[in-house]
Amino acid sequence: MRVTTLCALVLCSAVALGALAADRPLIGDAKNGDKLLSAAGFDVRVDGAWLNQFPDDVLIEKMVRGDSGLPQIDSENVLDRWDALAALRAKNTDLGDLLGGADAVLVMPTKLDEHAVGRLKDQAKIPGSAIDEDRLVFGLYKTGAAGLTFVGPKENKKRDKLKKDTKVGYAVFLPIPGFRGGKYEAAFAIDKDIRVLAVTVRAPDGSAPTDLNQAAARFVGKGARGQYAELKAGGAGKALGELARPLSDAFLLAAESVYMLEVDEREYFQF
């Protein structure tokens, strides 16, 4: 009964997250935004960690000057920048679809230590060439505050409120190693027990191919803390056969980066 209930909860969470992604309206005119990005000489960039590390108002301000890798939108009309942001978001997975009820996000740069790299090589059997030691991880917390708060690692007053018992999980964006040249991206929502809550696959053009995402959905509920064996999604089909091992590797890489965030948290709250 307990296993059945747990599976039902995981499935409901996945369905809810998927519905959010499908139903969320884009703020701004993405078609006009595409024209503005083209005029700015900006190519498609599929990089969820890059785009989601700042709240919308900060992104809009950065597009005035073209900071942080964002395009400079040469317009006195702020609505044009919102259109450009809508175009960028249309080709990237939105952090808002992975929050799982969180109202605070810890945006944490992480770096794998030598032990983490060793575990990925020796236990997960991931080649060193596929291991990127540096990754942005989004810690997700439910504090009861209104709105959504972004917290940097050095914002101590805000960070002090992100206690362990308020954490709901993590979000991680990363390339899928060994899959079609490594240019496809996976966006994972991961719970506190290091299980997959949701995953979205993006192609290099920013699309979310239906066949790949149907295959990826089979990974929901998989994973466990400290587990390094290949995730077994179950099922069959061409897309799943091609995607299964690379997406499993991507998840294990994401999980290891999550562990690095947890190490930082333990050290932070010791003092």
Task: Tell me whether strands 149-151 and 104-111 are parallel, antiparallel or unpaired.
Answer: parallel
Average pLDDT score over residue span 108-112: 98
Quick: pLDDT tens for 76-103. 999 999 999 999 999 999 999 999 999 9
CA 53, 55, 57, 58 torsion-angle sign: negative
Q: Is the pLDDT of residue 18 over 70?
A: no
> What is the Cα–Cα distance from 183 to 180, expressed in whole angstroms?
7
pLDDT at 271: 61
Q: Is the pLDDT of residue 145 over 60?
A: yes
Burial per residue of 69-97, b for 16 or more beta-carbon CB atoms within 10 angstroms, e otherwise: ebbbbebeeeebbbbbbbbbbbbbbbbbb
The pair phi, psi for residue 133, each rounded to 5°, is: -75, -25
Q: What is the pLDDT confidence band of residue 23, given thresholds at 50, 70 and 90? A: very low
pTM: 0.88
Average pLDDT score over residue span 215-242: 94
> What is the Cα–Cα distance from 260 to 21, expressed in whole angstroms?
28
Quick: pLDDT tens for 157-211. 999 999 999 999 999 999 999 999 999 999 999 999 999 999 999 999 999 999 9
pLDDT at 213: 97
Q: Is the pLDDT of residue 117 over 60?
A: yes
Identify each DSSP E strand in the chain by its residue range.
104-111, 134-141, 149-151, 167-175, 185-191, 196-202
What's the whole-number average pLDDT of the chain? 91
Contact in structure between 173 and 186 (CB atoms under 8 Å): yes
Q: Where are the domains of the chain?
A: 25-90, 97-269
Quick: pLDDT tens for 133-142. 999 999 999 9
Quick: pLDDT tens for 26-82. 578 999 999 999 999 999 999 999 999 999 999 999 999 999 999 999 899 999 999
> What is the Cα–Cα distance from 82 to 236, expressed in whole angstroms?
42
Q: What is the pLDDT confidence band of residue 235, given thresholds at 50, 70 and 90? A: confident
